[in-house]
Copies of this chain bind each other. A is one copy, B any other.
Amino acid sequence: MAQKPSIPKGTRDFNPQEVAKRNYIFNTIRGAFETFGFQPIETPSFENSETLMGKYGDEGDRLIFKILNSGEYYSKFQEDIIKIIFQILKHNQQYLIKVDKGEINFEDESGMSDIADDFRKITKSEINNFLNKNFSESRFSNDHFIDDEFIEVVTSEVGGSVEKLNLFITLDDNHLDRISQSVFSKYYQNIKTQYITPYISEKALRYDLTVPFARYVVQHQNEIEFPFKRYQIQPVWRADRPQKGRFREFYQCDADVVGSTSLWQEVEFIQLYDTVFSALKLEGVTIKINNRKILSGIAEVIGASDKLIDFTVALDKLDKIGEDKVKEEMLSKGISEAGISKLQPLFTLSGSFESQIESLKGILSTSKEGKKGIEELAFINEAISELGLTTATLQLDVTLARGLNYYTGAIFEVAAPKTVQMGSIGGGGRYDDLTSIFGMKDVLSGVGISFGLDRIYLVLEELGLFPETVNKNVDVLFINFGDKEALFCLKAIKQLRSEGINTELYPEADKMKKQMNHANKRNIPFVVLVGEEEIKSNSYTLKNMVSGEQFKIPLAELINHIK
């Protein structure tokens, strides 16, 4: 069957030129990571679902690509569920079956209101007995009892109307809230069956590199010598709505250190950003820095510690909507007029890093946490002033609030030169505790940064900063005049290749014009022609495809000429 080929939306093919350009960026980043003492690790493309789920918030969970279990797992599960449903329907009765961590709750009453809080608990073996008694073959084995999940089957005939007959299969951990809220109160109309997912999928594509790294650190803690500086350059996948510059498969380039709270790490990460962007000849990059403690301090000072997110979201809009609208938004979120007036110096914060620090000292004089944040920022700024940056600029930006859910200290974001319309091309920060979610006893502080490959690519492209030599193209094509000539050529080609010269023999003895066209279309700079005469004189006619010049020379000279 002929198919019109295409690729899934949000994914990309890369042709040789694109691969070469991407590798140029990867290699630059990798080289800098290594001179800074970071070492590479790689983790699998897919992780167990429980490693990823619940780490990125509800929205993140939805955007994780889940992998369907292989084999007949789903099929068996489906059959079992269907059998139970039929058994229930056969008896024309109401049941609540809850399969939860080795326990099954089984309800057989007619009063709907009783279901939620009054059911008889039965054990796994009881349900197995039940299934064995009622069905010729029970496949309801232990396999189906996954930790922290359950199956729930409810049938009901609400208000005696057959029209309202409903069936629900929910398989989610947080069921009870949903059941009581959205289901029971709304005659079950809003129930969703997506919670079947854990039964048909146990693996998922990695969503970022940080969570797999945390998992790696905990799993291999006994092999790792801390502080551990690792880098990781691998693709990640997100089921985001694809749009310009946002893809469903894209690379992240991360460097992190875990096991040290030293602020020298922050200093070195700023140097690392500067090193990479300088090596890429991308001048005029701004490395913005903020500190979570500054934001918490401000929120504390204005009596809005419980509104940290509302407050920072509003503050973040200062550039776009101006001071008055920001204040308006803060008021509407319940931040007091008195609190906002304390912020006044913040709205006019500008000038050098040092003068901003001075203003912040005034604003945050009553907040212990805020003062700690100022201290950290001042330390980092002084070190960077002493050490100097090559092409980048360090800028304090108190409106910077990315990753507030996990960053606890420094927050970084890198802005492309102002001449280019582009969001951030890098970001990162410090997190106090990466590994406790995976059961690690020792609290490991970490700090890390990430480079946005795709955006850096677009910036370099727009500014024409890819070096001309980035394409490892073929250096020379040998024209094919027939088998005897081809064999003679291949002896020379073997030599050229061993000298690292990218060399090709045109495979067929096609018309010379066609072969020359092939060289032209592929921008191959040199062509070698070998006919009877050349074989006789053991020489090669080298043609420069740009200048048109042409020489008959021996092999050693040919190699020197092309090299």
Q: Are A5 and B218 in contact (CB under 8 A)?
A: yes
Residue interface mask A47-86, B partner, CB < 8 A = 1:
1101100000000001101111011101100110010011
* Complex Cα–Cα for A90 and B475 (A): 75
* Complex Cα–Cα for A215 and B4 (A): 9
| Contact of A20 with B by CB under 8 A | yes
Q: Are B70 and A203 in contact (CB under 8 A)?
A: no
Q: Are B70 and A68 in contact (CB under 8 A)?
A: no
Q: Which of A23, A63, A67, A261 has the most CB of B within 10 A?
A: A67
Out of B15, B74, B216, B497, name the residue touching A275 (CB < 8 Å).
B497
| Contact of A143 with B by CB under 8 A | no
* Complex Cα–Cα for A541 and B34 (A): 23
Q: Point out the residues of chain B lying under 8 angstroms from A474, CB to CB.
A: 37, 39
| Contact of A109 with B by CB under 8 A | no
Q: Point out the residues of chain B lying under 8 angstroms from A504, CB to CB.
A: 36-37, 229
| Contact of A521 with B by CB under 8 A | yes
> Chain B residue with minimal CB distance to A501?
B35
**Contact segment of A122-130, A401-409, A411-419, A434-442:** A434-442
| Contact of A220 with B by CB under 8 A | yes
Q: Are A75 and B192 in contact (CB under 8 A)?
A: yes
Out of B13, B193, B202, B522, name the residue touching A78 (CB < 8 Å).
B193
Q: Are B70 and A239 in contact (CB under 8 A)?
A: yes
Q: Are B68 and A68 in contact (CB under 8 A)?
A: yes
Chain A residues 509 to 524 lying within 8 A of chain B, measured CB to CB, are 518, 521-522
Q: Are A2 and B437 in contact (CB under 8 A)?
A: yes
Q: Are B2 and A438 in contact (CB under 8 A)?
A: yes
**Contact segment of A264-272, A362-370, A527-535:** A264-272
User: How large, as a class, is the contact surface on chain A?
Assistant: 35 or more
> Chain B residue with minimal CB distance to A201?
B68
Q: Are A507 and B227 in contact (CB under 8 A)?
A: yes
Q: Are B40 and A260 in contact (CB under 8 A)?
A: no
| Contact of A465 with B by CB under 8 A | no
| Contact of A162 with B by CB under 8 A | yes
Chain A residues 208 to 228 lying within 8 A of chain B, measured CB to CB, are 215-216, 218-220, 223, 225, 227
Chain A residues 21 to 39 lying within 8 A of chain B, measured CB to CB, are 23, 31, 34-37, 39
Q: Are B215 and A5 in contact (CB under 8 A)?
A: yes
Q: Are A439 and B268 in contact (CB under 8 A)?
A: no
Task: Say how many copies of this protein the assembly contains.
Answer: 2
Q: Point out the residues of chain B lying under 8 angstroms from A235, CB to CB.
A: 45
| Contact of A3 with B by CB under 8 A | yes
Q: Point out the residues of chain B lying under 8 angstroms from A257, CB to CB.
A: 507
* Complex Cα–Cα for A468 and B183 (A): 65
* Complex Cα–Cα for A68 and B46 (A): 13
* Complex Cα–Cα for A34 and B499 (A): 12
Known contacts A165-B86, A439-B3, A505-B264: does B387 contact A44 (CB below 8 Å)? no
A395 CB to nearest chain B CB (Å) = 21
| Contact of A245 with B by CB under 8 A | no
Q: Point out the residues of chain B lying under 8 angstroms from A262, CB to CB.
A: 507-508
> Chain B residue with minimal CB distance to A202?
B8
Out of B1, B46, B505, name the residue touching A268 (CB < 8 Å).
B505
Please provide the 4 A-B residue pairs with the shortest distance between their CB atoms, ordered closest to farther.
A37-B504, A11-B44, A2-B439, A262-B507
Identify 23 residue pairs between A and B in the complex whose beta-carbon atoms are under 8 Å apart, listed by A's number: A7-B47, A8-B44, A8-B203, A13-B44, A15-B41, A23-B40, A36-B497, A65-B67, A66-B68, A67-B67, A68-B197, A74-B193, A78-B193, A79-B193, A86-B167, A229-B504, A257-B507, A262-B507, A265-B507, A383-B487, A387-B490, A387-B491, A387-B494
